[in-house]
Chains A and B, each alone.
Chain A
Amino acid sequence: MKFIDEYQDNKLARGLAYKIAQRSTKTIRLMEFCGGHTHAILRYGIRQLVPKTVEMRSGPGCPVCVTATADLDKAIALAHLPDVIITTFGDMIRVPGSYSSLQQAKAEGADIRIVYSTIDAVEIAKANPGKSVIFIGIGFETTAPTIAASILKAQQEKIENFHVLSLNKLTPPVMKALLDSGEIKLDGIIGPGHVSVIIGSHPYEFIPQDYGVACVISGFEPLDILLCIDKLVEQIEKGEPRVEIAYPRGVKPEGNRKARQLMEDVFEIGEANWRGIGIVPQSGLKLKGKYERFDADKAFSVGLNPPREPKGCRCGDVIRGAAMPLECKLFRKVCTPESPVGPCMVSSEGACAAYYQYGTLENLQGF
């Protein structure tokens, strides 16, 4: 497949890995923000390809994983309301909440439908005028414009029974929160490629400027990631951290103006609750007042018990990069993809799921 196969070439990958090893003298720690990168790094054995001087950590870039238990509980409570259809991306359905899950709610009779796109959710609303259709809006800047587009479509076509529970989150503010906490020292960040297709490279400028940390935006094929690591190592070795795009076929410095314009029209920025991190100011997207009638938070009211975190689950630590999956006592023993305890094992982008699926002795070394 064009733009995929050519970036998976084994010989070029070995050449790049050799170059990285030649360049790297300092012991450094990199974080891949995006869960898509975590999976690619594990799947293609990139941890084994890079020299021992380069330590890799996973970050909070899995939207399902960072959804707070309290927000998940709200989604489950909404599912139990009469005449409500919940529409959601597939990964959300199996994540355990405090007392139940969407899957369990479905088994108990709630109408919960997995959709591939917000387009499908709007179509379900159109086809079910007697029901309220709520889309569980998770995702980062990559997904937020598609949710904005669905709200604009619902408004244009006067589909009054379509609602969004907006749990969308923003990438740069949580990177800032992690860097501010100082919990783990980072030398470089593998920037999220598809978030950056939308927001461009400028919003990351504070990372080198204020924290002296390198930031290189990467694509998702193995050669893209190796090229990104090579550029990060080069910057760090020279002591010249900056924002660089190693995925120029997808990312422009200015991003996608049209997509950002739609986001800005529909959403306003507010605080968001992140699993494992807590409330991060200016890191969430809420519907603007003029789209209030599509806002599930405004249209429905549900009573919630205080959230409970699964006992022993270290998803929060894994999300912050403070723990590796194998450091969790539940990993592979109690918590498996078949019977997940926390979201990091459920989501196809979760770090625990990646380590479970692709974990080899080499991958697991260093725990």
Chain B
Amino acid sequence: MCLAIPVRIVAIDGDEAETEIAGVRRRVSIALTPEAKLGDYVLLHTGYAIGVIDEAEAEETLKLLEEIASLSEVH
């Protein structure tokens, strides 16, 4: 139910957007994320974008994970 997947916005038309994931396209509502822009990744839940993915934060988390793993390798 609370499943949401990251999809990329490839076109915007009012409060709807054309999104794409792994070659599959779907029209979704962006009524809940008016800040969403072309090229943004949004979290898609039951036909609605519920949040815009923060790419800088995504990078930070990956860096943190890599740091942790590299520290663990020392042992």
| Chain A residues within 8 Å of B, Cβ to Cβ | 1-4, 6-7, 9, 11-12, 14-16, 18-19, 22, 34-36, 61-64, 89, 91, 116-120, 138-140, 142-143, 145-146, 149, 192-195, 197-198, 220, 223-224, 227, 230, 246, 248-252, 256, 258-259, 262, 347, 349
Contacts and interface: CB of A to CB of B under 8 A. Distances in A.
A193 B72 CA distance: 27
Contacts of B54: 248-250, 252
Nearest to A246: B61
Say which size band chain B's interface belongs to.
Answer: 35 or more
Contact of B61 (A35, A249, A347, A349): A249
Given A249-B54, A256-B51, A142 B4 contact: yes
B13 interface: no
B16 to A, nearest CB: 9
A18 B74 CA distance: 11
B19 interface: no
29 contacts: A2-B41, A3-B6, A4-B5, A11-B69, A12-B68, A12-B69, A15-B65, A15-B73, A35-B1, A36-B2, A61-B2, A117-B47, A119-B29, A120-B47, A139-B1, A140-B2, A142-B50, A146-B45, A146-B47, A149-B29, A149-B32, A195-B2, A197-B50, A223-B65, A227-B68, A249-B54, A250-B43, A259-B50, A347-B1
A349 B51 CA distance: 21
A16 B69 contact: yes
Contacts of A18: 72, 75
Name B's interface SS: mixed
Interface string B18-54: 0001100000010111100000010101111011011
Those 10 A-B pairs whose CB atoms lie nearest each other, nearest first: A15-B69, A117-B47, A249-B58, A15-B72, A248-B57, A3-B6, A197-B51, A18-B72, A194-B2, A142-B2
A118 B46 contact: yes
Given A16-B69, A248-B60, A116 B32 contact: no
Nearest to A248: B57
A61 B31 CA distance: 25
B31 A6 contact: no
A121 B75 CA distance: 56
Contacts of A139: 1-2
A40 B66 CA distance: 21
Given A15-B68, A262-B32, A249 B55 contact: yes
Contacts of B46: 89, 116-118, 143, 146
Given A11-B69, A18-B75, A256 B1 contact: no
